[in-house]
């Protein structure tokens, strides 16, 4: 997933902008007749990723959520009963509302994973920094990504040690788990102090690279995303 697919924008900032433009356009779809278009966009994004199976594997949890929302809306929303089994009523407007929400969700998550989920962490931070957001956000992204695996491993080790010492499970273990959490926070604080000293020695924050202007390729991608978004919204409102 880390290698750039040739059919996607190279620049992380362009990817983030294209993802946001298209995600908001997908979220604005109101008509069920526009859903084939959304599905086509999502499929095109999957193909463009160059690794459709890897993206589909990451869609498992969002797909379960989409299915649960679609079922809830189909059973509890609307008035025209399509099918009935005991107390369960499948309603036509509920099915339409459920399909709309579920497909919007899956199309946006697919787009997000294809355009942004494939970027290496430092590129994500670079994208945020080049969008004129506060530097603190991109620095937080970078440092959080740097420590996240380490902290997960530390908490997992501490939890395993707690269990080996005969620690309980469920509700009785909550105070012990809070102690594990406190230990991780204290270690994290000490580590953060050392990291900050090292960052100061490397002149952190003394100068930030200037944001480069958009290239022609990037402007074409952003223009195409805006045109697609406008066309989708226009078609949706016209039907």
Partner 1 sequence: MHLPDGLVPVGMAAAGYAGSGALLALSMNRIARLPDPQAAMPRAAMMTAVFFAASAIVVPVPPTTVHLMLSGVMGVLLGWFAVPAILVGLFLQAVLFGHGGLTTIGLNGLIIAVPALVAFMVYRASAGRFPRLAAGVAGSGGVILSLAIFAAFVLLGLPAQMDASAERAALVVFVLAHMPLVVAEGIIVIVLLQILSRVEPGLLPRG
Please work out, in degrees rounded to the nearest 5, the angle formed at the alpha carbon of residue 238 by the alpha carbons of 18 and 16: 5
Q: Are 79 and 119 in contact (CB under 8 A)?
A: no
Minimal distance, residue 224 CB to partner 1, in Å: 19
Q: How far is the CB of 216 from partner 1 (least distance, A)?
A: 26
Is 5 an interacting residue with respect to partner 1 (CB under 8 A)?
no
Instruction: CB nearer to partner 1: give 94 or 221.
Output: 94
Touching partner 1, residues 111-130 (CB under 8 A): 112-113, 116-117, 119, 124, 128
Could you say which residues in the range 51-70 bind partner 1, by CB under 8 A?
Answer: 58-59, 61-62, 65-66, 69
Task: Give Cβ neighbours of residue 62 (< 8 Å, ≥ 6 apart).
Answer: 105, 106, 109
Does residue number 93 form part of the binding site for partner 1 (CB under 8 A)?
A: yes
Which residues between 195 and 214 bind partner 1 (CB under 8 A)? 195-196, 199, 204-205
Q: Please give the Cα distance from 91 to 81 (Å, whole number).
A: 4
Sole binder of partner 1 in the list 9, 42, 49, 78 (CB under 8 A)? 78
Q: At 85, phi and psi to the nearest 5?
A: -140, 100
CB of 239 to partner 1, least distance (A): 17
Whole-angstrom Cα distance, residue 228 to residue 88?
40
Q: Kindly state whether residue 225 participates in binding partner 1, applying the rule CB under 8 A.
A: no
CB of 157 to partner 1, least distance (A): 11
Handedness of CA 96, 101, 105, 111 (dihedral sign): positive
* Total interface residues for partner 1 by CB under 8 A: 80
Interface with partner 1 by CB under 8 A: which range of 3-11, 145-153, 215-223, 224-232? 145-153
Q: How far is the CB of 112 from partner 1 (least distance, A)?
A: 5
Q: What are phi and psi of 80, to 5 degrees?
A: -80, 110
Q: Is 236 left (phi over 0), alpha (psi -120 to 50) or beta?
A: alpha
For residue 47, the minimal CB distance to partner 1 (Å) is 18
Distance CA 54, CA 60 (A): 11
């Amino acid at each position: 997933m880390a290698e750039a697919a040739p059919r996607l924008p190279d620049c992380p900032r362009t990817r983030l902008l294209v993802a946001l433009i298209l995600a908001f356009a997908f979220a604005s779809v109101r008509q069920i007749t526009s859903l084939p278009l959304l599905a086509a966009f999502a499929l095109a994004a999957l193909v463009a990723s160059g690794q459709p199976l890897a993206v589909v594997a990451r869609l498992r949890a969002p797909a379960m959520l989409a299915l649960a929302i679609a079922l809830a809306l189909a059973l509890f929303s609307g008035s025209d009963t399509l099918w009935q089994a005991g107390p369960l009523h499948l309603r036509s407007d509920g099915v339409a509302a459920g399909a709309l929400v579920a497909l919007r969700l899956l199309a946006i998550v697919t787009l997000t994973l294809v355009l942004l989920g494939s970027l290496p962490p430092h590129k994500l931070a670079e994208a945020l920094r080049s969008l004129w957001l506060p530097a603190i956000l991109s620095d937080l992204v970078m440092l959080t990504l740097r420590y996240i695996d380490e902290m997960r491993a530390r908490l997992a080790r501490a939890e395993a040690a707690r269990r080996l010492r005969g620690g309980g499970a469920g509700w009785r273990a909550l105070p012990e788990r809070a102690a594990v959490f406190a230990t991780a926070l204290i270690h994290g604080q000490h580590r953060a102090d050392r990291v900050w000293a090292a960052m100061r020695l490397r002149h952190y924050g003394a100068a930030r690279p200037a944001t480069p202007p958009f290239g022609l390729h990037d402007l074409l991608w952003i223009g195409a995303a805006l045109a697609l978004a406008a066309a989708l919204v226009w078609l949706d409102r016209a039907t």
